[in-house]
Structure 1
Amino acid sequence: MPTVVDATVVGAGVAAGRAYRLIRVPAATLFSVEGASIRWHGEALDSGGFAWSGRDALAYTQIHDPAGQRTWRGPNPLFEDVRSIRLVGERDIRIDYAYPEEPADLGLVYSMRSRTRDHPGALVLDSCDVTLSRLRFRFLHGFGVVAQTSRDVTVEGCEFRAPPDSGRHSAGFADFIQFAGCSGRAVVRDCLFDGPHDDPINVHGSYLRLAGQPDPRTLELAYPHPETAGFPQFAAGDQVELVDRATLQAIATATVRTVRQPSGRDHDQPLRTILVTVDVELPDGLVGWTAVENVTRTPTVRIVRNIFRNVPTRGVLVTTRRAVLIEENRFEHMGMAGIYVSGDAAEWWESGPVRDLTIRGNKFIEPGGPAIHLDPRSTRRAPGHAVHSGLFVTENQFVLDGVPALDAKSTRGIRFRDNSIVQRGQETPDIVLRSCFDVRIELDGAGPP
């Protein structure tokens, strides 16, 4: 059973001086009305409980507008100032309120869920030469399809979408696809991504926090993010890079000699710490301000001929130092950026500078944020140095409403040419650059403002 509740407002008005809504939930959604509250739940267990349960608005909501084909994150008014709740028919629920103002959200869908991503919907772990072809993913719980520490993984011709005519609009609890700590090739082509609760595609490594230095050749590393732990990250012979967490600039490199780490399959080793010995002596005083990335486990990426729609966040997130090609995709009304390049060692700890990124022949249709956004989360500048480099943007079509085609921070070597830009709505710059250098922008192909 889906762990997201899609509640469509099918009726709204005022009766006896009080507002009401009539909401409809899909047949796959299980619930019970308990006084002035609704309990949503999953399948019944033999123990007498449920696979999952929660009340009313749950912890997180995004809103979908079927008419406008847009999805965004926002507040949930369905369960504010509730006076009474009653079942009307099999799947329709009437909610009466204490206030008199008529609701103005007829037709909108409120998609509600908890926040805990407790496991992946599908996992490709420590594998190579894996292809997922022509599959239909109707709902993915947790982190979606996760390729973890794997090599040469392809997703092709797949459909990530709720079943048509099911009353459901959410096909994913969070992301659809994550490539984490992978190597070789990461390929996504000819897929449809419709209705996630987070980013459809996310390709990244993982920065580990340097928590201790028992000796000059030994590093004690820790998983800093509470939702990441328990997987092997290194093998003998892997190259690691130490970075300044504030600037994201490399300060040292080394090669792994030995490693003590979790296996991803048992609890024989600590799940949140890794002990690595390397081939060179490292300076003292690195604890507290440095992070470590395995630069061997970074993939080349091809994201080609996909469709992204009804996305509340970004279409593609990518941070990898190897060659990336994002080509002939269609990004429709993203809630935020179409393509987002970040990297940080403070929040999500998703690692990797981009050094060779080609964005070619894509269509960006009215994104909610910059169509292409390079936004490394560095907190201090390193004079003369950039976090990202090697960006080539060409032959794309941008239809924008009050947002730039490109917003880049701390990037060296930008080439932007032969793109078509049409700006609608409020006047805004086509290009925004912050702390960038070696930039060549050609706007001759821009459309009318």
Structure 2
Amino acid sequence: MLNNLKFLVGLCFLVLGVSTSVKGQQLIKIEPQLGDMTLVVREALEKVNQKDVKLVFSEGTYVFKPDYARQQYSYITNHGNGLKNIIFLMEDFDSVVIEGNGAEFIFQGQVAPFQFKNCKKIRVKDLTLDWDIPFLFQGEVVAIDSVQGWRDIKPFSDGYSWEVKNDQLHFPNIHGFSFNELGSTLAFDPDLKRVSHGAWDVNSNPRWVEKRSNGILRFHEFLKHYPPIGAILNSKGEKEKNRYAPAFQVVQSNDVLFDDIVIHHALGMGFLFERTQDITIKQSGIYVRKGSDRVVSTIADATHFANCKGDILIEDCTFMHMLDDGTNVHGTYVEVDRILNDKTVRVALKHFEQMGFQFADKGDVLWFIQKPNPTRTLENEVVTLVQINDRYIDITFKNKLPTNLAAGDILENKTWNPTFIMRGCTIKDHRARNIVLKTPQKILIENNNFSSMMSSIFFRGETFYWFESGAVEDVLIRNNNFEYCAYSGMEHAVLKISPRLGKDFDATETYDRNIRFKDNTIQTFDNRIIWADRVDGLTISGNTIKQVPSATRIYPMAPMMHFINCTNVEVTENSYEGPNTNFIQNDNQSQKTLIFKGNKGFKYK
């Protein structure tokens, strides 16, 4: 049987895949065919014997199933580690080129579509990715009884997969995998396909699920926040199982370009980059397919960059309907576990989705951040690393450790931090923030259109939960349009700067610095525009702010601008139109150096 299978695979490759060599580059041409294309691609890649490869797909639809995928244990930051079914595994190439020519890739079940590892140049162009059945449960809220603790849901069935078994809902029931609880659950506006106004994240685990007449399911569960009747309720499963893999994972690679890529669904993030240098994503999109009844595209962030360096550019892209941020750019904090000798320290990765992450390598320069002071102080060069396991690392330095270094202090990688530019993009109609930024290198955000459930632009280095570093030092946010922002039930702002460090760090010391918010247009319903904590150097200048009655204010008593433990804040030449009379709230520290002048429509007492 196995020999027959190999013969059929070889025959299929001869028919569908043509491999030639042109000037040292191995060229593979693949045509679409009905049925699973996984073996065709696998066979083609296993025949590659050169360091430069180019895959050219003809226009058409290609289906990929997990049955014959490459299996490899994978560490994937901000996802679940484990044995993954990988369709395109691209490792150790000098160059990889994938030309899609408008091809559409449809994936089934738990698969990791693309993994690029240790590649020197990557080019991927003109592809669309989707799943035949999403790893989501979705239904319309038709009735609620908060006293008895139940909600009635009319589930979506066409194009979805679920079953009620032993009085519990299981989904997606694909290739033997199901979530055992609803897990992260959120209400969406059925007409606008965005998170419902004032919605809260809910972790749902019903006591039991009851089948009712007319296909209705009754979920018996007391909730703190019930969804509105008529909303679309969407669930993505329990926390530690609902991020299988991103659509594209790029690790330890250089010179990366994604051009004209559209992702309609993924079992994690859209694009994930780890310890990768010089990245461009342009003219690409993440959103549900036009005409689809789905309200969610990717399970997590559209784009995510962990310990990258060089230049990152995201240009002319559209990100919508994700269940997390539009982009997150950050480093990683590790915590000192113990001092081994005067040059060697054992550190720990702290978050469960960071296990196995490569924090540093020989030659990297690390910052020491010693409690209670959260600022970067001494630095030292790594000489050797010993990976004890997926959590602990022994690091030996060129010079002696600080004499007062102690358990609980944190280290940050200075070498691996990128510059970041986002321009000409639209990010809206999704859960969480538009942009989360944590790099000390130059940041430019210009000429974008933003609408956010939570804060639109968010700065939060933190050692509390995610252990994502770090403080920003050079940020320019200009000529952007913000419309309908911060409509989550939890309080947010258009621009929020909010470090979250452990209890042993001084909560009054400045953390982020040199942020300029200039010449932007803000049109939103609620009060909060700027909310800044522990910033040294914040310029808010030339912005046009209009508060409109497009939705009910959620926090009508909040100030328009709120400064806590800040220094050198300038609010100049801005204009405001709207009903708010609570303009600026300061503490004593922020008030000492605040400059307020030339503003129209609001005042500072």
TM-score, length-normalised on structure 2? 0.65
Structure 1 residue 4 corresponds to structure 2 residue 122: no
Q: Which of 416, 420, 444 is the equivalent residue of 2:540?
A: 416
Could you tell me which of 425, 432, 436 is aligned with 1:306?
Answer: 425
Residue number in structure 2 paired with 1:370: 493
Asked if 1 retains the 8 angstrom alpha-carbon contact of 2:170 and 2:178, the reply is: no
1:20–1:94 Cα contact (<8 Å) kept: no
Q: Verify the 8 A CA contact 2:443 2:475 in the aligned structure 1.
A: yes
Say which of 154, 164, 167 aligns to 1:23. Answer: 154
1:73-99: per-residue Cα shift (whole Å, max 9, x none)?
A: 3448996786x41585xxxx3135899
Q: In the alignment, does 2:181 pair up with 1:38? A: no
2:134 partner SS = coil
User: Is the Cα–Cα contact under 8 Å of residues 179 and 186 in structure 1 kept in the other structure?
Assistant: no
CA contact (8 A) 1:62 1:197 kept: no
Aligned position for 1:136: 262
Shift of 1:306: 1.5
Q: How big is the shift at 1:36?
A: 4.7
Match of 2:565 in 1: 435
Letter in 1 for 2:298: G
Please state how far the C-alpha of 1:293 moved relative to its aligned partner.
Answer: 0.7
CA distance in 2 between partners of 1:107 and 1:284 (Å): 62
Q: Secondary structure at the match of 1:169?
A: coil
Q: Which amino acid aligns with 1:349?
A: F
Q: Are the aligned partners of 2:545 and 2:575 in contact in 1 as well (CA < 8 Å)?
A: yes
AA aligned to 2:516 is F
Match of 1:73 in 2: 200
The aligned residue for residue 60 of structure 1 is 184
The one-character-per-residue Cα deviations of 1:90-143 (angstroms, maximum 9, x if unpaired) are xxx3135899xxx98443111102212343332100011111111111112134
Q: CA deviation at 1:13?
A: 9.5
| Secondary structure of the corresponding residue to residue 297 of structure 2 | coil
User: What is the CA–CA distance in structure 1 between the aligned matches of 2:327 and 2:499, rounded to whole Å?
Assistant: 18
User: What do the CA deviations read for 1:399-437 (whole angstroms, capped 9, x no partner)?
Assistant: 233332111111111111100111245364321111111
CA RMSD of aligned residues (A): 2.8
Q: Residue 413 of structure 1: SS of its match in structure 2?
A: strand
Count the aligned residue pairs: 421
Q: Aligned with 1:141: secondary structure?
A: coil
* Match in the other structure for 2:35: none
Q: Is the 8 A contact 1:137 1:161 kept in 2?
A: yes
CA distance in 2 between partners of 1:193 and 1:223 (Å): 30
Change in 2 beyond 3 A, CA 1:349/1:108? same
Amino acid at match of 2:283: G
Q: 1:345 to 1:95 in 2, by over 3 A?
A: closer
Over residues 287-335 of structure 1, what are the superposed CA-to-partner deviations in whole Å (9 max), with x where a residue is unaligned? 3231001111000001112212222211110100000011122122x22
State the identity as a percent.
23
Residue of structure 2 aligned with 1:446, choices 555, 558, 576: 576
Higher RCO (Cα < 8 Å, 6 or more apart): 1
Larger Rg: 2
TM-score with structure 1 length normalisation?
0.86
Deviation at 1:228, TM superposition (A): 0.5
Kept in 1, the 8 Å contact 2:183–2:205? The answer is no
Q: Is residue 503 of structure 2 the alignment partner of residue 381 of structure 1?
A: no
SS at match of 1:345: coil
Runs of 4+ in structure 1 displaced over 6 angstroms?
none
Change (3 A) 1:420 1:4: same
Query: In structure 2, do the counterparts of structure 1 residues 127 and 87 end up closer, same or farther at CA, with 3 Å as the change threshold?
Result: farther
Which residue of 1 is the match for residue 128 of structure 2?
A: none
Q: Is the 8 A contact 2:332 2:467 kept in 1?
A: yes
2:411 alignment partner in structure 1 = 292
Task: Give the distance between the partners of 2:219 and 2:394, measured in 1 at CA.
Answer: 57
* Aligned counterparts, 1:6-405, within 5 A: 6-9=138-141, 21=152, 23-34=154-165, 36-44=167-175, 50-55=176-181, 58-67=182-191, 70-71=194-195, 72-75=199-202, 84-86=210-212, 88=214, 93-95=215-217, 105-113=228-236, 114-116=238-240, 117-261=243-387, 270-332=389-451, 334-368=452-486, 369-378=492-501, 379=503, 380-381=505-506, 386-405=510-529
- Map Cα deviations across residues 177-207 of structure 1 (whole Å, 9 max, x no partner): 1100000012212111111111121000000
- 1:407 equivalent in alignment to 2:531: yes
Question: Hey, which of these two has a bigger chunk of helix by percent?
Answer: 2
In 2, the alpha carbon distance for the partners of 1:213 and 1:78 equals: 43
Instruction: Provide closer, same or farther for how the CA distance between residues 26 and 127 of structure 1 changes in structure 2, counting only shifts above 3 A.
Output: farther
Give the Cα separation in 1 of the matches to 2:219 and 2:356. Answer: 47
Distance (Å, rounded) in 2 between the aligned partners of 1:210 and 1:413: 30
SS in structure 1 of the partner of residue 267 of structure 2: coil
Checking the alignment, whether the CA contact within 8 Å between 1:402 and 1:427 is kept in structure 2 is no
> SS of 2:577's equivalent?
coil
Structure 2 Cα separation of the partners of residues 317 and 391 of structure 1? 14
How many Å apart are 1:40 and its aligned residue? 1.8
Letter in 2 for 1:134: D
**Counterpart contact for 1:366–1:400, Cα < 8 Å:** yes
Q: Say if 1:387 and 1:410, in contact at 8 Å, map to a contact too.
A: yes
Q: Residue 185 of structure 2 contacts residue 204 of structure 2 at CA under 8 Å; is this kept in 1?
A: no
CA distance in structure 2 between the aligned counterparts of 1:64 and 1:104, rounded to whole angstroms: 9
Separation (CA, whole Å) in 1 of partners of 2:261 and 2:439:
26
Contact conserved, 1:246 with 1:289, CA < 8 A, in 2? no
Report the residue type matching 1:421 in the other structure: I
User: 1:285: how far off?
Assistant: 4.4
Alpha carbons of structure 1 residues 24 and 228: separation in structure 2 relative to 1, 3 Å: same
